[in-house]
Amino acid sequence: MKLFHSPGSCSEGIRFLLDDIGVSYELETTDLKSGDHRSPEYLALNPKGKVPALMLPDGSVLTEFPVIAYWLAKSFPEAKLLPETLDEEVRVMELTEHIVSGLHMRGSVFAMLPQKFVCDAGAQEELQQHGKEIVRAGFARLEKQLGEKDFLFREFSIADAAAYYLISWHERIRVDVPEALADYYLRLQLRKSKNAS
């Protein structure tokens, strides 16, 4: 497998999962700052021009964080990245999807890159504040879901890998992390660094 990855981006979450599984894979840096994701070579692999993308052993390319994470969880069941029952599994998928499509795409992106969406400086400021509000409310929701547990669900799951990258952006977007979530983030960082390839 080969992971197309940009340091500090959401592909950190997929890297987390691959290292957690302990499977060997190639890491191909597709640096967003240098515009590698817009090169003809990369667009031929992923016409959407985004990371993460995972090249599977058969040479095909899988995109979209929740889908890649789901594929990894199902392909490596021994890693137990999803619960066993369907009813519990869909709850993990529900939260993973919310983190990526809701909090990341409709929150952090607006807070980090308002200029991608509107030209006017006042409108950019408004959009940025709106994005920060979405993330702030999302953090409160994640804290509630966490409760007294070590992870969002009973065991570490793909939702934690999504939460990991989302929380990692808190300084960039200047949104405070509630205390329990900050402790949880430290736990995730520790787990990630233990398994890092």
Ligand X SMILES: N[C@@H](CCC(=O)N[C@@H](CS)C(=O)NCC(=O)O)C(=O)O
Vertex 148 angle, CA 143 and 150, to 5°: 85
Note whether 52 and 64 are within 8 A (CB).
no
- Element (H or E) spanning 5, and its range? strand 2-5
- Element (H or E) spanning 44, and its range? helix 40-45
Tell me which residue of 125, 96, 122, 97 sits closest to 110, measured CA to CA: 125
Of the candidates 32, 45, 62, 180, which one interacts with ligand X according to CB under 6 A?
A: 32
When the beta carbons of 43 and 190 are compared against ligand X, the nearer one is 43
| Nearest approach, Cβ of residue 62 and ligand X (Å) | 10
When the beta carbons of 15 and 50 are compared against ligand X, the nearer one is 50
Does residue 50 bind ligand X (CB under 6 A)?
yes
| Nearest approach, Cβ of residue 61 and ligand X (Å) | 12
Segment contacting ligand X by CB under 6 A, of 44-52, 91-99, 119-127, 149-157: 44-52
Eight-state DSSP code of residue 35: T
Segment contacting ligand X by CB under 6 A, of 48-56, 149-157, 170-178, 183-191: 48-56
Omega within 30 of 0 (cis) for the link into 52? yes
Neighbour-count burial for 163-192, b at 16+ CB within 10 Å, e otherwise: bbbbbbbbeebebebeeebeebbeebeebb
Tell me which residue of 183, 181, 92, 190 sits closest to 136, measured CA to CA: 181
Find the binding residues for ligand X in span 90-119 (CB under 6 A). Answer: 100
Note whether 32 and 7 are within 8 A (CB).
no
Find the binding residues for ligand X in span 61-90 (CB under 6 A). Answer: 64-65
Find the binding residues for ligand X in span 2-21 (CB under 6 A). Answer: 9-10
Does residue 164 bind ligand X (CB under 6 A)?
no
| Nearest approach, Cβ of residue 179 and ligand X (Å) | 26
Segment contacting ligand X by CB under 6 A, of 43-51, 137-145, 148-156, 189-197: 43-51
Amino acid at the residue 148: E
When the beta carbons of 49 and 178 are compared against ligand X, the nearer one is 49
Does residue 153 bind ligand X (CB under 6 A)?
no
> Could you list the residues that contact ligand X (CB under 6 A)?
9-10, 32, 37, 49-52, 64-65, 100
